[in-house]
Amino acid sequence: MNSHLQKVWTPPFNTPSCTPEKDLSTVDFFVGPPREIGELTCVDGTPSKQKSGKSLFAGIAVLVALSVTITLISFSLAPSIYTLAISGGLCTLLSAALIYEDKVYCYFVGKIGVCESSARLCIPGKPQTKILLFNKAAALFVTKIHQHTNGIYAGTSYKYVWTLTDKTKFVVEGYYYGEKKKRGGKDKYCFAESAESAWTKHLLQIVDEQFEENEYVDFPMSEKPEKNKIQTIRMRKGNLEFFLKKGGSQVVDISDFKQASLHGGFITFKHKDAQWWSGNGSFSFNYALVPNAYLFLICLNRIAGF
């Protein structure tokens, strides 16, 4: 770790990592967990080995060499002091921008909130910290896109967006390659998954209380009318009720469903009656448009066994 970033916190013994099988001794925590997020469930961060002085020096050397090469090529094509100045200046700005954006991270997941802190590796400055407190969040939307090139898997982009009661957002997004391969130290995916799990456990307590009091629980859908036909799905012990955005509702007994599944980013309900839901026999909606979708699936499994 650079001299301007000091290790200020050491995880207590047996503190789990958000990334499975990761050795937390390789992470230099330049900030500690905020008390507001409650008891820690897992922590994570950028491995110090990944940001060693040698790798940083090598990266800067490559950028400098690339800048010099581009400058010389530009000058040879159009020999002019202006060409030399402009191309050299642009390459220098590019190199500076890449170095400026090189960051290290610390992640903390607690029972009542999560925290992400980042600091620039090469430039001294105060770490930037984002805190999400669950009691100030309204809903979570999750988007995952598996990208393919010529039919070959080329990576997965993800985005976790918590909408807050004050109309702001807490966002965790990034990209990783491979479902089973080890992810990079800067990859936030495991942190995002752990944050979603903690958020869902927080909501389950609220849902259990609602179900105990009302004998049902409502799951409002996305507010985008062009992408969802339903306003709300109400879960009861024996049935599901689909409230339509155009008015009215459809009640379906759990025993009448043939199947409920999640595939290709869509949640699909199939009915025993092939004429159900406008003669299609099935109804599906985008997982990414369901607020707190993981909680929805857990409750559906509890009630219907799907």
Report in angstroms the alpha-carbon separations of 285 from 11, 26, 175, 245, 261.
Answer: 42, 42, 24, 14, 11
Give the confidence band of 145 by pLDDT, cuts at 50, 70, 90: confident
Looking at residue 55, its pLDDT comes to 46
The 10s digit of each residue's pLDDT in 69-80 is: 665 565 566 566
Give the confidence band of 106 by pLDDT, cuts at 50, 70, 90: very high
Between residues 49 and 292, the one the model is more confident about: 292
The Cα 9–Cα 111 span in angstroms is 19
Fold for domain 215-304?
Answer: PH-domain like (2.30.29)
Looking at residue 100, its pLDDT comes to 44
274: left (phi over 0), alpha (psi -120 to 50) or beta: alpha
Report in angstroms the alpha-carbon separations of 253 from 14, 240, 290.
Answer: 46, 6, 22
Residue 264 CB partners (closer than 8 Å, separation 6+): none
For residue 150, the 8-state DSSP code is: T
The encoded tokens of residue 38 equal: 């409650």
Domain with CATH 2.30.29.30 in the chain: 215-304
The Cα 171–Cα 163 span in angstroms is 9
Residue 263 CB partners (closer than 8 Å, separation 6+): none
The Cα 290–Cα 262 span in angstroms is 12
Looking at residue 236, its pLDDT comes to 93
Between residues 304 and 171, the one the model is more confident about: 171
Question: Contact 243/231 with Cβ under 8 angstroms?
Answer: yes
Residue 161 CB partners (closer than 8 Å, separation 6+): 140, 141, 142, 143, 169, 170, 171
Query: % helix / strand / coil in the chain, to the nearest 5?
Result: 35, 35, 30
Residues forming beta bridges with residue 117, ordered by sequence position? 106, 129
Amino acid at 148: H
Collapsed DSSP state (helix, strand, coil) of residue 207: helix
Looking at residue 123, its pLDDT comes to 72
Per-chain mean pLDDT for the chain:
82
The Cα 40–Cα 13 span in angstroms is 12
The encoded tokens of residue 266 equal: 């869509």
Report in angstroms the alpha-carbon separations of 231 from 105, 240, 274, 285, 296.
Answer: 39, 13, 23, 12, 15
251: left (phi over 0), alpha (psi -120 to 50) or beta: beta
The Cα 213–Cα 207 span in angstroms is 10
Query: Which of 2-11, 115-124, 188-197 is the most confident on average?
Result: 188-197
Question: Contact 235/250 with Cβ under 8 angstroms?
Answer: no
Percent of the chain scoring above 70 in pLDDT: 76
State whether the Cα torsion 55-60-66-72 is positive or negative.
negative
